[in-house]
A = this chain, B = another copy of it.
Amino acid sequence: MVTAGSWPDRTIRITDPADPRIAEFTAMRDRDLAGRGDRFIAEGRVVLQALTDVLDDAGSGRGEARFVIEKVLFLENRIEGLGDLIDRLDADCPVYVAGREVLDAAVGFAMHRGILALGRHLPPPSLGGFLEGLPDQALVVVACGIANHDNVGGIFRNAGVFGADAVVLDQSCCDPLYRKAIRVSVGAALRVPFCRGGSILALVGELVSHGFEVVGLSPRGAEELSRFQPGRRQVLLLGTEGEGLPEELLNALATLRIEQAPGLDSLNVATTSGIALWHIAKTMGRIGR
């Protein structure tokens, strides 16, 4: 129970699961907010922490403002431990609190961990501007046609762990701000700056014109990953599982293969990104001693 005086006045108690002020959270039961423009649901302490870290960085001038938190909804018995996070929210961000019965009825039993935020992504105005904001030595992951939210989430998680500067997604990739993708990324979909849209050919052209060397990963790649020497601005290009990268693109680019045992077994694309990012970040001197 939240007792009087023990919590700041800004919490607003919700007692009706159908209260319109929490309608966006209610809707996630059915639609996961897919296709709702740039709004997304962040859930759990780790993910909300990632989101407020990004906002703090923007507030202190260490990064672009990439997100807005529009409202939060907490289970009442979680709120005592969330004081530090609540203090970091904008003053005009409503903090809704509900008991377990109301929350379960509103968003579905066990579909939340008592910590929910409704965020809005502020996408970069253009890929060109986005790329100009990247450092002189840079590592960028480009994904083409990744349709699976686990895989997109896993690629972001690895981009975060190995310190990639950005992720660029072509128009056929799924949304990294879909709930499951954020969860699988352990918040990295919020931490790692990204840009979405455009055909893969257009994206590669723009990257090359910004001084990036582009290498594509493929089981039929020409060079072994362990022998690869990355450039100063390096793009790692990943294709969809199964099909892989389009043949015309592979023919036009430098390509790498991850060494493996003989046979037809293939790696998962998120695992592929982890192996390649580890090697490339290490060779670029970005990780390790």
Contacts and interface: CB of A to CB of B under 8 A. Distances in A.
A259 B278 contact: yes
B265 A188 contact: yes
A281 B262 CA distance: 12
Contact of A286 (B261, B263, B267): B261
A224 B288 contact: yes
Contact of A274 (B191, B265, B275): B275
Contacts of A274: 267-268, 271-272, 274-275
Q: How many interface residues does chain A have, given as a range? A: 35 or more
Nearest to A272: B274
A158 interface: yes
Nearest to A226: B282
A162 B272 CA distance: 12
A94 interface: no
A186 B226 contact: no
Contacts of A288: 224, 226, 259
A289 interface: yes
Contacts of A267: 157-158, 161, 274
A266 B186 contact: yes
A266 B224 contact: no
A221 interface: no
Contacts of A250: none
A224 B224 CA distance: 22
A260 interface: yes
A287 interface: yes
Contacts of A286: 261
24 contacts: A150-B150, A157-B265, A157-B267, A158-B267, A160-B261, A160-B265, A161-B265, A163-B261, A188-B265, A224-B288, A226-B282, A226-B288, A259-B282, A261-B281, A261-B286, A268-B270, A268-B274, A270-B271, A271-B271, A272-B274, A274-B274, A274-B275, A275-B275, A275-B278
The 5 closest A-B pairs by CB, nearest first: A163-B261, A259-B288, A271-B274, A259-B287, A161-B265
